[in-house]
Chain A
Amino acid sequence: MAYKITVDQPNIGPGTEVFIDGLGTFKNGEATVVDADQANHFRNAHGRVNDEGKWEQGPTLAQAKLVGVTVERVSDKDEPETKVTQTSTPPAPTKKDGGK
Chain B
Amino acid sequence: MAVGIGAGGFMGIALETTSGTYEAPTKYFAFESESLAYTQETNFRRPIRKSASIIGAVDGNSRVEGDISMEAFEDILPYFLYCSRVTVVKTGVAPNFIYTATPTAAAVPTMTMSATVVRNGVAFGYSGLVVGSFTLTVEDGTLKFNPSLLGREEADQSIPVPIFSMTTPFGAGKYQIQIPTASQVFDADGFDFQVDDSAEAQYRLKDTGRGAQFISFGERTVTLSMERDFESRTEYDAYKALTSQSITLTATKGTNNQISVVMPAAIKDEYTLGLSGQGDLIRASMTYNGVIDASGNDYTLVVKSQEDITP
Chain A contacts to B: CB under 8 angstroms: 7, 9-14, 16-22, 25, 46, 48-51, 53, 59, 64-69
Contacts and interface: CB of A to CB of B under 8 A. Distances in A.
B68 interface: no
B75 A12 contact: yes
Contact of A66 (B75, B158, B163, B307): B163
A13 B96 CA distance: 9
B200 to A, nearest CB: 31
Interface stretch (B19-27, B183-191, B272-280): B19-27
Interface of B: 1-2, 10, 24-27, 75, 94-95, 121, 158-166, 306-310
Contacts of B1: 48-51
Contact of B161 (A17, A22, A51): A22
Main secondary structure of the interface of A (DSSP, over half): loop
Main secondary structure of the interface of B (DSSP, over half): loop
28 contacts: A11-B26, A12-B165, A12-B306, A12-B308, A13-B94, A13-B95, A14-B95, A18-B163, A18-B166, A19-B164, A20-B162, A20-B163, A21-B10, A21-B161, A21-B163, A22-B161, A46-B159, A46-B161, A48-B1, A50-B1, A53-B2, A65-B158, A65-B160, A66-B163, A67-B24, A67-B25, A67-B160, A68-B163
Contacts of A50: 1
Nearest to B25: A67
A21 B309 contact: no
